[in-house]
Amino acid sequence: MIEDLMATLSLAEGAAWSAFVVFLRVGAMMALLPAFGETVVPVRVRLALGLAFTAIIWPAIQAGLPAQPSGAIGLSGFVLAETGTGVFLGLVLRLFVITLQVAGTIAAQSTSLSQIFGGTAGADPLPAMGHVLLVAGLALAALLDLHVRVAQFLIFSYELIPAGHMISPQIVAEAGVAEIGHSFALAFTLAAPFLVASLLYNVTLGVINRAMPQLMVAFVGAPAITAGGLFLLLLTAPVIVGLWSEELFGFLRAPFGPR
């Protein structure tokens, strides 16, 4: 009976260690994930979500997890490696949130609406346009089963970066630069209709000002660009958040690959 009890304790210890390993990566990512890691989400809720994702992912990858390293140095290195991996993957996904924020800021600046601030899902206030796009994008991602895609991404991440392995700085630099460049390119693409409208507005105002110098074109044009920007937001917001969600889910399906 004592031998059976010792075997049970050994199994429980191994299960607790493997669950702890999974929680290290999941917990680090949970602080940065889109929708789940926003500052408006209470810390206790994020902790509960981290435990829930751990319970989902742990059965799928526990067989491939390494044994507990011996010694404090080995254990500390393992913890740092897993936490660093989770932070890196979370930061890459956080870039998609920054993409919507940048796109909304560009759109608001182009249509003279950057001084109108709305609420924000993050720490810093955003222009009203950026807040609308951010909340709409996160809501759409949640409706399209973001939690399922994130769980699949986390399971696949152990194939990309095995547990306990430190990411190479060269890979972090190359992948980080590529994803940052892609993020800003996507933000500019999403805000392109507002940039085109702003260009046409300024060219038209310049022509009118040259034809009638005595007319205060700024007073005439300001209401027009404001109303036009809001109308353009009404037309393009569904397309913008749709394209953004496709890019997000495309990355979750094929991380760091062609999308």
CA 2 – CA 184 distance, rounded (Å): 62
State pLDDT tens for residues 24-68: 999 999 888 998 988 888 889 988 999 999 999 988 888 778 877
Beta carbons of 149 and 249 less than 8 angstroms apart? yes
The DSSP 8-state label assigned to residue 255 in this structure reads T
State pLDDT tens for residues 84-103: 999 999 999 999 999 999 99
CA 122 – CA 38 distance, rounded (Å): 6
The burial class, CB within 10 Å (0-12 / 13-18 / 19+), for 68 is middle
State pLDDT tens for residues 200-226: 888 887 787 777 777 676 677 777 788
Residue 21: name the closest of 70, 65, 77 by CA.
65
CB atoms within 10 A of CB 193: 18
First to last CA, the chain: 57
Note the pLDDT of residue 161.
86
